[in-house]
Structure 1
Amino acid sequence: MRILVTGANGYLGRAVVGALRRAGHDPVAMTRTEMPCGEQVIRVADLLDGAELRKALEGVDAVCHLAGLTRARESLVQPLRYFQVNTAGTVTLLNAMDAVGVPQIVFASTGAIYGSPEHQPMTEDTADAPPHPYAASKLAAELAIFAQAGTGRLSATVLRLMNVAGGADIDSSRLIPRTIAAAVDDSVLEVNGDGKAVRDYVHIEDAAAAFVACFGRMPQRGEARRYIVGSGHGTSVLEVVAAVEKCTGRHIRLLHKPPAPEPLTLISDPARARDELLWYPACSGIQEIIRDSLAASPNG
């Protein structure tokens, strides 16, 4: 299958392109700017430019839509930018797909849409309660996808990703890269509150494998499905610190800041993805994630 991958030069995009190719698909990498292509087929298009998208979609069978803005705190001060890129960009892509007759999409969404539910672990039946514009913009994009599928012109799968980690993750806003940097640089790691907040980390390769699994089991036209993609178990901030210390052999100095207004525990139940997509988080243990992150780090 020839699959256009939006956001192909991002952290998740690079992993998904590689996983699709290894599975025998023909991924076409869509980026906003020119980049060294190597063996990849590169198409340059802006997610908000319908004409560019229609050109990028020529000759493809399906879309893996990963492009978007992802920083929750940033979305609080730039909400319109997040709705423009994540929601309006997805609508523009759907219009372009409809215009050129591309009938299948797999969309990267976020488990942040569930907010802070009391009942854990979270399932696909957990009520939506987006706590910030980032999550709200992704939910709005999901609703547009489901509505378009309801017309009978689209087959869609939505993956709500938990905390993707491991590999060459250089995003210093995320906990694991920050913790590794503190160990390598012997710097202080700032921690909100007591460090007992628990999150669900899924290895980047497991996340990429979930997208591959979707393309092997796409629903019929007129149908849309949603799955949570997570490890199914939680790891606290202090447990992440301990895992990095164990893997590096270095002590990490902590500076405890005032607690942030955030949920104590967020854990997923990926049973539906396991049962229907035959997907399983094979390498999402925290020690494996940390070891892989260190191996990919230039200073590891």
Structure 2
Amino acid sequence: MTWLITGGAGYIGAHVARAMAGAGEKVVVLDDLSAAVPARLPSDVPLVTGSTLDGPRLREVLTEHGVTGVVHLAARKQVAESVAEPTRYYQENVGGLATLLDAMAAAGVHRLLFSSSAAVYGNPDVDLITEDTPCAPVNPYGETKLAGEWLVRAAGRAYGISTVCLRYFNVAGAAAPELADTGVFNIVPMVFDRLTRGEAPRIFGDDYPTPDGTCVRDYIHVADLAEAHLAAARRLAGDAPAGDLTLNIGRGEGVSVRELITVIGEVSGDGREPVVEPRRPGDAPRAVASAERAARELGWRARRDVHEMVASAWEGWRLHHGK
């Protein structure tokens, strides 16, 4: 097998590329460099500059590198940005996927691992979200991921492509400091940013129907997520391919925003009291995965806890932002 990883020089993509290459898989990365750090990649992993919107470029890469499977991570992923620029999100996330699937069909590539998101579920009122929980996304980003799943399955049936869709929950941490998330879009780096500037962390609403009144989420270490991709890729490459498989990727354990901020204070040594601000529109009280299907289908379970996520992310933050 030779795997093309689209978006493979991004935060999650580089972890996936390193995990797969480190396990002996042959990997090539395609990235448009819009959110990439090429130095994240191992020196022996080829990096091709290009967009999933460029069909001729995709066909060229698939053919020249003898690609036999694709891990598709390239996408825009900021919720607020998707609300402000929905057409851009549909064009890049869904249009880019359609272009990739056409190129795969033309090149005879019959295995696809698709990066989806728990955003496809919206805000379900359940204790544990299973893969059978109805999907009702509440923003354009989540809509594009759900539409992407529909497209992946339709193309799989039409073109004989074996597919796996992985629905990520909240990703954090770093396998090594140099691989850390350099953006300030997710809760852990957002709290780090506040502390670094001498400001208190923020909690948006403390009157939810949860044990401490703050939202509860399922956090997954990015290294565990990368290992899930390796397991899914090997399932696709096996003698009994996946066919059409959709899996939650989470720990199956809920952590409240207040609990997470407490851990961040312990790790960083800055345990200042957070300030409580009004609720944000669209935040669900609880969003925790059932990860049993992934364990059953892939033999995979998350191994790292929230403290490990925060400690590794903090080490990376200090590297990238000064100590």
Q: TM-score range by the shorter chain?
A: over 0.9
Q: CA deviation at 1:253?
A: 4.3
**Which residue of 2 is the match for residue 171 of structure 1?**
183
**Cα gap change, 1:152/1:57 in structure 2, threshold over 3 Å: closer, same or farther?**
closer
**Which residue of 1 is the match for residue 209 of structure 2?**
none
TM-score for both structures, normalised by structure 2:
0.88
The letter of the residue matching 1:198 is V
Identity level (%):
32
Q: CA deviation at 1:245?
A: 1.0
Partner deviation per Cα, 1:47-82 (whole Å, 9 max, x = no partner): 111001111212111000000011112111111111
Superposition RMSD on alpha carbons, in Å?
Answer: 1.7
Q: CA deviation at 1:180?
A: 2.1
Write out aligned runs for 1:199-218 (5 A). Answer: 199-218=217-236
**Cα gap change, 1:221/1:148 in structure 2, threshold over 3 Å: closer, same or farther?**
farther
Write out aligned runs for 1:1-300 (5 A). Answer: 1-33=1-33, 35=38, 38-58=43-63, 59-151=66-158, 153-167=160-174, 168-194=180-206, 196-218=214-236, 223-261=243-281, 262-283=283-304, 285-297=305-317, 298=319, 299=322
Q: CA deviation at 1:281?
A: 0.2
Preserved contact between residue 105 and residue 159 of structure 2 (Cα < 8 Å): no
The letter of the residue matching 2:230 is V
Q: CA deviation at 1:221?
A: 6.8
**Cα distance between partner residues in 2 of 1:79 and 1:276:** 34
**Cα gap change, 1:286/1:221 in structure 2, threshold over 3 Å: closer, same or farther?**
closer
**Cα distance between partner residues in 1 of 2:103 and 2:187:** 37
Partner deviation per Cα, 1:182-226 (whole Å, 9 max, x = no partner): 334422323211261111110000000011001111286792110
The more displaced of 137-146 and 170-179 is 170-179
The more displaced of 148-157 and 260-269 is 148-157
Which SS does the other structure have where 1:245 is aligned?
A: helix
Preserved contact between residue 274 and residue 280 of structure 1 (Cα < 8 Å): yes
**Cα distance between partner residues in 2 of 1:192 and 1:222:** 40
Preserved contact between residue 203 and residue 214 of structure 2 (Cα < 8 Å): no
**Cα distance between partner residues in 2 of 1:73 and 1:26:** 36
Q: CA deviation at 1:22?
A: 1.2
Which SS does the other structure have where 2:4 is aligned?
A: strand
Preserved contact between residue 150 and residue 223 of structure 1 (Cα < 8 Å): no
**Cα distance between partner residues in 2 of 1:171 and 1:199:** 20
TM-score for both structures, normalised by structure 1:
0.95
Partner deviation per Cα, 1:123-158 (whole Å, 9 max, x = no partner): 011001111110111111110110111125201000
Which SS does the other structure have where 1:124 is aligned?
A: coil
Aligned residue-pair number: 299
